[in-house]
Amino acid sequence: MYNQLTAAGVKCVILAPTTMLTQQGKRVKTDARDALVIAQCLSYGGYHAVYIPTQQDDSVKEYLRMRDDHKDVLKKIKQQINSMCLRHGHHYEGTKWTTKHVTWLRKLELSPLYRETLDEYMASFDEQTAKIERFDLRIEELASQEHYWEKVKKL
């Protein structure tokens, strides 16, 4: 809504309700009282404006969501591989999804069609892993930009 209003030439400020100076003890809320409090805060400067994400911020947020979606896909593929192995009596005793575990999966003795099935799962695993690594590098690039550097440093 903020972007639509400013695009229409309307000056707009989004107030953080927790920073608005209000009288303590008044718990009755009505639109009229809320409008009066907002007008007083705007008039006297008794508020802090909320940071409005830029188009760049929004695009970075979408990129991060996309990366999370791919992490969910990778998790599902891992579950499918683990389930297939367990259904056919193959149980790995060590920590799963380490280099050693992945090597064990690739060397499992299976009948031809089972091997082909596992190989397809492993190809999907490799593809998703490579994508996520690529996304992580891009996120590091984005995080090192001047616009985000201070906030990332705090994290």
Please report the pLDDT score of residue 77 as a whole number.
98
- Mean pLDDT for the stretch of residues 123-128: 98
Q: Could you tell me the two tokens for 121?
A: 């799962």
Question: What's the mean pLDDT in 32-58?
Answer: 83
SS3 content of the chain, % helix, strand, coil (to 5): 70, 0, 30
Residue 28 scores a pLDDT above 80: no
Q: At residue 49, what are phi and psi to the nearest 5 degrees?
A: -75, 145
pLDDT of residue 27: 67
Cα–Cα distances (Å) from 128 to 65, 73, 106, 139, 150, in that order, read 15, 8, 17, 16, 31
Which amino acid is it at 95? Answer: T
Q: What is the model's pLDDT at position 29? A: 72
* Averaged pLDDT for residues 99-123: 98
State the pLDDT at residue 13: 85
Q: Residue 105's pLDDT band (boundaries 50, 70, 90)?
A: very high
pTM above 0.95, yes or no: no
| Average pLDDT of the residues in 16-42 | 75
Arithmetic mean of pLDDT over the chain: 91
